[in-house]
Amino acid sequence: MAIETKGVLKTWKDDRGFGFIKPDDGSDDIFIHISALKGFVRRPYRGDVIYYQVEQSDDGKSKAVKARIEGVELYAEEPASKLGVWLSIAVIIIFLTGLGLYFNGWIK
């Protein structure tokens, strides 16, 4: 099981979606990309307390993964998932309506 580490977001470049965490244990700063913070209701701010796991990137440098922001909630549900359900229901209704019109002789 991976160890969760705690630190403070030292820098954050919101326009580029990355920053650096200063670990509480005093070790070297850790790179964090926005993709490590999935599903949160807001983007991170400088000074946020971040809990994360450390992984080695392809170039051998350490980076934060599976991160979370202390005190910030996750979305209850991905916003796009409701859209998918409603689109599926609409397609089924249209299909069944078409079948009904065809078998009742309205469509030849």
Q: Are 29 and 19 in contact (CB under 8 A)?
A: no
Q: Are 12 and 69 in contact (CB under 8 A)?
A: no
- 5-69: CATH homologous superfamily? Nucleic acid-binding proteins (2.40.50.140)
Q: How far apart are CA 59 and CA 71, in angstroms?
A: 32
- Beta-bridged to residue 7, according to DSSP, are 23, 50
pLDDT digits (tens, 9 = 90+) for 42-95: 999 999 999 999 999 888 899 999 999 999 988 766 555 677 788 889 999 999
Q: Are 22 and 8 in contact (CB under 8 A)?
A: yes
User: What residue segments make up the domains of the chain, in order of their start?
Assistant: 5-69, 77-108
Q: Are 65 and 53 in contact (CB under 8 A)?
A: yes
pTM for the whole structure: 0.67
